[in-house]
Structure 1
Amino acid sequence: MKTEIQEWHRVRTTSADRSRRARNPADQPRRINATALVLATFLVGAVLVTWGLWREGSRAMLSANVPDQVFFQFVLRHAVDVLAGDATPFFTSQMNAPLGVNLMANTVVLGLGIPLAPLTVLGGPQLSFTVLLVLGLAGTAAAWYWFLLRHVVSSRAAAAVGAALCGFGPGMISQANGHPNWTAQFLVPFLVHWALRMAEPGRALRNGAVLGLLVVVQAFVNEEVLLYTALACAVFLTAYAALTWPAQRAAIRPVLATAGVAAVLGGALLAYPLWTQFFGPQSFRGLPPGASAYGADLASFAAFPRLSLGGNVDVTRLLAPNAAEENTFLGWPLLALLGLAVAGWLWRQALVRTLVVTGAVFALFAMGRQVFAGGERTALPGLWRPFNHLPLLESVVPVRFGLVLLPVVGALVALTVEVVARLPRQSAQGLPLRRLAYALVGLALVPLLPLPLPTHRGPAVPRFVTEGTWRAYVPAGRTLVTVPLTSNEHSEGMRWWAQSGAGFSFPGGYFIGPGRQPGTATFGPPPRPTDLLFASIVKGAKVPKVTGRMRDGLLADLRFWRAGALVLPDGAPRADVLRELVDDLVGDGVRTGGVTVWPVSELAEVDAPAPVPASAEEPGTGTPPGGREDPPVG
């Protein structure tokens, strides 16, 4: 297949030519310098895109997606504990106490977190998060640059342009808003490379072993990317074989043998992690309601993403599920350019037709179960509808299929640039043909140039946590309960734990876990009465009158959470209102280290009496548990 891929519209250099060129002492430094310049450009571009995270330091927050950023800070810190032997790899009891969280089912990214663990220890998880984004964007572009030069084009400039689109295209910049596991696609080109080598006769064992190991590593970076890569390779290879069938007949046996070796090796190494993911504690099926319905709007393919020179926030809000899922915003100039190039120069090549088929299939998949156009639901069912309830595929977010388009489009752009470089300088009429063609390429790509990720400065971790004061209020085996409860909207517990490295556990959190009904999934734990009460007040609800029933609900929740203390940060929304309410529920709290804390260990005992009211107007008055005096720290 590799030979066929290299036989295109152009005359490609032979191996002898390449050997002679490699021996030329004048050419080798030039190629090294060109590659170094390309890689340096990718690295600088990644730093510029993430500049806000560097500028704000450890308190930098992504304005478009704080919850996912905090979640990845959590798992990066978790990787440190795993490496130190203080935590199990695929499960945590620090979050969502006392039930815990199945991290294998929540993108634990040990393949990224463990290599970065020394940096996390030295500089904190926010620094590791930022470095991970930079390495993901630049590394993905660099890997595709290598792949395009090896399999697609001879021109380094063409490969650089195509690779830049693969690494910094609209979907990748969008995913950089809190999804470093999606921007870290630097293994994907190597997976595709070894998939293309499956047809080599007599190399099934070696090629299968390498492919299987790559699969294992990618599974600990991002399983969903691995799934999409496997589906894309299957569609591509099937389409390519159909277009060039007589020449591919002999490849069937080595392809099946290589795939078998990779499946056996990968399956053996991933058996326990996958069992934990699908059948272990706190496992679940599918996705929370709404997430599986995320599909690409038909109009989004011709629109520009918001974080680009040509972006329009109002348009993207209408056409995208959220700011981190603008995966199909390619812009109409690029689509027009590729349409012209494919129709005019490239269509006769089998690889180009295969790329077009692959891109079309995944564009249709990205639209999900129902086609939307311009924000309006149409009567057309999506191509994904028959597949979305199948095992494994039920956990897919359809709009992310749009990310498969970037390598497809990147390869087509690289081919287009190489074709343009071979055009005559002038037409028969004296027009500067090559310059005009380069101008069209530039006009198609310039509107997609990425802008820096929007960031802001978040609150500091309270001294109550960083100085270890929490230990005086949270006995061993008890939890620290944030007010309001830690969730996707209020991530204090996760952020404090991740950035401080403190050893407390906390209820709630931002993750996917089992829903109330068997076989369902939900974001965070199913809410409890006290959780709902605090959350409603933060959103502006009127504070209800404290009743005995409300205290009974609080007591049941404290016992379920095995609470040691309730903690309200000073800067929380409606902090004064929440503080007064909790004072009425459990007694006066203690102001210390940037928080108000209410010791509730005694109340959380199974045989503890109900909390007494703080007001003498209700029966049962007495000394409230937890006074205003600070207990001794130690």
Structure 2
Amino acid sequence: MSVAAPAPAASADPPVEPPEPSRARRWRAHLAVALLALGLAVYVTNGLWRDPFGNGLSDNLGDQAFFEWLLGYGVYTIGHGSDPFFTELMNVPWGVNLAANTSISVYTILFAPLTYLAGPQVSYVTILTLNLAGSAFAWYLFLQRWLVRSPLAAGLGGMFCGFAPGFISHANGHLNWTAGWVAPLVVWQVLRLRQPGRWFRNGLVLGLMLAAFFTIAAEGLFYTALASGIFVITWALSGPVRAEAKAAAATVLKALGVTAVVAGALLAYPLYMHFSGPQTFSGTGFNQRYFAEDAAAYLSFPSRSLAALFGLGSTLGPNRTEETSFFGVPLVVLIVVSLVMVWRRAEPGRRATLRAIMVVGGLFLVLSLGPRLNWMDAELPIPLPYAILARLPLFDAALPLRLALVVAAVFGIVLALVTQELLDQRRVTAATHTGMTAAIVAALLPIFPLPVRHQERATEPAFISQGTWQRYVSDNGVISALPFALNVTADGQRWQAYTMARGGPQFRIPGGYFLGPMTTGEEGREQIGRIGAPPLATDWLFTRAALYGYVTELSEADRAQARADFDYWQVEALFLPEEITGSDHMVLFRNAVLVTATDLLGPPEKVDDVLVWRIRPGVDPITR
């Protein structure tokens, strides 16, 4: 199998092999790439590092709050022996199916000591930074092991894979999608399955990897498995390597059998919870036709790039966190030219590998366009292949435009291959070398990333941090900040996250930012997903006041409805901090929330730095 040969060249081997680099030189190269990747990752996330507690990602404060909540829940899980895949702390009285969300359970447990000592805010930016750096470094190691000899070629390809526009975009909140290191590690192990005599060990390792990575990036793992399968099948059907593939088939199948048994056993419970557990749902809370790649986005520049500084950024993505392609015309042209150049110089065995890589890239590009073709922000009446897949299991819970992240990996591989060709200078003319080198610089410079945007966010109230809240709610009782926690008003969820991270007493909250069923209770199993809990009249009063400053004159019917809603949530107290945070520098109308709450519940009690309303008998603040 050409792709599995130790560090093969990008095309036919030269007449005389260059000498192998010494172990010391290899380690120096590894260290240089690792430090460069870490430095670039810190540069991208520096706004959070300046003040992890006071700064948040302005383009996606909601997702950041959700992942900080998960990190706090990791400490709570260890301390209370709770279920990592289901929680009753949010969305009272129904709870949240974390397996059907992005639970990142491995991260929450591994980083629990840091979360306990420094807080979810520090754990969050640490994981985000290590994800970006680790992705670039993992791809570098993969490329040098399987496809190119030169550390420079592997380093360029790896850095692109780790910091491609799509991954910089997902750095706005997503600890799952920035874990791009999952793909090269899984593909590396897949390629090792053909090793004779090691099918049991290799299958066992792959099974363990799939079980662990499922909780970190389930959707990304699905895409990686799909891409690996397409690659292997396409490669195996190529004439020059068909006999080689046939000889390895039995070993690979035995290894996959072991993988299936190991991964199946370890994932039995999380998979049950994901597909059939309480509060599960079909699909997602997002429209697949909206979250599809605009074909013109492949030719555009991302909003966080050097090109954007000169007014060349694009708004063709559904939001700044989902700019998953945005390679720009120069890079797309460079990739096409590079493929032609590498193909012409490749021996038959290497062409089988190149063909499989191109098939993967082409298929994922087409699928990323979604059910219908979009061009320049307009949906055209042209059906595309994803329309056939959209309702199938797994595909129905995926967002098509994220398939473009696989295309980014293919682009990184091609960059490594063509760079190796240029470094083998006797294989190209001086003019070609100079021209292609200039083209690589011209293609990559415009998409060089800018740091992710950040903003100040409300600091944790002393009412929460000092534990005063315990005087106003019973053990494991329900209390909520105003407005109720949502993706656009996520402070209340953060206060709960920080409380969980301290490992002490805990409260529950109604609502929250998560994915759940359209309806509550058992009937929710038949519903498609939605963002957050189905709103009731009372929480909508506070949300509307916060977002729009809308204050309505309340009637006795409104007050009666509020009493019923509070009973439904089992709420014992509500509190309003001095400051509430909105995404993307949005100004929220705190005074409108205060007026609404006072009209509904009467004058509040000033406690520490918040205003408190008692809703139902809880704990006597004098005796507790």
Length-normalised TM-score, structure 2: 0.91
Instruction: Report what 1:269 is aligned to.
Output: 266
Instruction: Report what 2:434 is aligned to.
Output: 435
1:293/1:369 contact within 8 Å kept: no
* 1:523 corresponds to 2:531: yes
Query: What does 1:103-118 align with in structure 2 at a 5 Å threshold?
Result: 103-118=98-113
* 1:574 corresponds to 2:589: yes
Query: What does 1:115-134 align with in structure 2 at a 5 Å threshold?
Result: 115-134=110-129
1:78/1:87 contact within 8 Å kept: no
SS of residue paired to 1:336: helix
Query: What does 1:323-402 align with in structure 2 at a 5 Å threshold?
Result: 323-347=320-344, 348=346, 349-402=351-404
- Rounded to whole Å, the distance in 1 between the matches of 2:570 and 2:437 is 66
2:4/2:146 contact within 8 Å kept: no
Query: What does 1:484-523 align with in structure 2 at a 5 Å threshold?
Result: 484-501=483-500, 503-516=506-519, 518-523=526-531
RMSD: 2.3
In 2 relative to 1, CA 459–327 (structure 1 residues): closer, same or farther, beyond 3 Å? same
SS of residue paired to 1:114: helix
2:576/2:594 contact within 8 Å kept: yes
2:182/2:221 contact within 8 Å kept: no
Q: Amino acid of the residue matched to residue 497 of structure 2?
A: A
User: Per-residue deviation at 1:3?
Assistant: 6.2
1:90/1:276 contact within 8 Å kept: yes
Query: What does 1:423-572 align with in structure 2 at a 5 Å threshold?
Result: 423=425, 432-501=431-500, 503-516=506-519, 518-540=526-548, 542-572=550-580
- Rounded to whole Å, the distance in 1 between the matches of 2:30 and 2:200 is 33
Q: Amino acid of the residue matched to residue 338 of structure 1?
A: I
* 1:49 corresponds to 2:49: no
- Rounded to whole Å, the distance in 2 between the matches of 1:189 and 1:383 is 27
Length-normalised TM-score, structure 1: 0.90
Q: Amino acid of the residue matched to residue 496 of structure 2?
A: W
- Rounded to whole Å, the distance in 2 between the matches of 1:474 and 1:240 is 62
Q: Amino acid of the residue matched to residue 31 of structure 2?
A: A
Aligned positions, number = 599
Give the structure with higher Rg (CA).
1
Query: What does 1:77-156 align with in structure 2 at a 5 Å threshold?
Result: 77-156=72-151
1:483/1:534 contact within 8 Å kept: yes
Instruction: Report what 1:619 is aligned to.
Output: none
Q: Amino acid of the residue matched to residue 44 of structure 1?
A: G
* 1:11 corresponds to 2:1: no
Instruction: Report what 1:589 is aligned to.
Output: 604
User: Per-residue deviation at 1:4?
Assistant: 6.7
- Rounded to whole Å, the distance in 2 between the matches of 1:57 and 1:534 is 28
CA distances 1:114-158 after superposition (whole Å, capped 9, x unpaired):
111111111111111111011101111111111100100001100
2:476/2:507 contact within 8 Å kept: no
* 1:632 corresponds to 2:619: no
CA distances 1:516-573 after superposition (whole Å, capped 9, x unpaired):
2633211100000101222222233642222111011100110011011011222243
Which of the numbers 407, 410, 424 marks the counterpart of 1:408? Answer: 410
Q: Amino acid of the residue matched to residue 421 of structure 1?
A: L
Ranked by relative contact order (alpha carbons within 8 Å, sequence separation 6 or more), the top structure is 2
Instruction: Report what 2:584 is aligned to.
Output: none
Q: Amino acid of the residue matched to residue 495 of structure 2?
A: W
Q: Amino acid of the residue matched to residue 215 of structure 2?
A: F
2:85/2:273 contact within 8 Å kept: yes
Instruction: Report what 1:611 is aligned to.
Output: none
* 1:228 corresponds to 2:217: no
1:63/1:455 contact within 8 Å kept: yes
CA distances 1:162-186 after superposition (whole Å, capped 9, x unpaired):
0000111111111110001111122
Instruction: Report what 1:616 is aligned to.
Output: none
In 2 relative to 1, CA 433–586 (structure 1 residues): closer, same or farther, beyond 3 Å? closer
2:549/2:592 contact within 8 Å kept: no
Q: Amino acid of the residue matched to residue 508 of structure 1?
A: G
**Identity across the alignment (%):** 35
Instruction: Report what 1:187 is aligned to.
Output: 182
In 2 relative to 1, CA 575–632 (structure 1 residues): closer, same or farther, beyond 3 Å? farther
**Consecutive unaligned residues in structure 1, runs of 5 or more:** 605-625
In 2 relative to 1, CA 81–2 (structure 1 residues): closer, same or farther, beyond 3 Å? farther
Query: What does 1:250-329 align with in structure 2 at a 5 Å threshold?
Result: 250-291=247-288, 293-311=290-308, 318-329=315-326
- Rounded to whole Å, the distance in 1 between the matches of 2:431 and 2:312 is 36
SS of residue paired to 2:616: coil
User: Per-residue deviation at 1:345?
Assistant: 3.3
User: Per-residue deviation at 1:396?
Assistant: 0.6
In 2 relative to 1, CA 268–290 (structure 1 residues): closer, same or farther, beyond 3 Å? same
1:2/1:196 contact within 8 Å kept: no
Q: Amino acid of the residue matched to residue 441 of structure 1?
A: I
2:235/2:352 contact within 8 Å kept: yes
In 2 relative to 1, CA 515–485 (structure 1 residues): closer, same or farther, beyond 3 Å? same
1:424/1:433 contact within 8 Å kept: no
**Consecutive unaligned residues in structure 2, runs of 5 or more:** 581-587
- Rounded to whole Å, the distance in 2 between the matches of 1:367 and 1:103 is 29
1:305/1:312 contact within 8 Å kept: no
In 2 relative to 1, CA 556–296 (structure 1 residues): closer, same or farther, beyond 3 Å? same
In 2 relative to 1, CA 34–212 (structure 1 residues): closer, same or farther, beyond 3 Å? same
Q: Amino acid of the residue matched to residue 83 of structure 2?
A: T
Which of the numbers 207, 211, 215 marks the counterpart of 1:216? Answer: 211
SS of residue paired to 2:99: helix
- Rounded to whole Å, the distance in 2 between the matches of 1:571 and 1:313 is 35
In 2 relative to 1, CA 313–215 (structure 1 residues): closer, same or farther, beyond 3 Å? farther
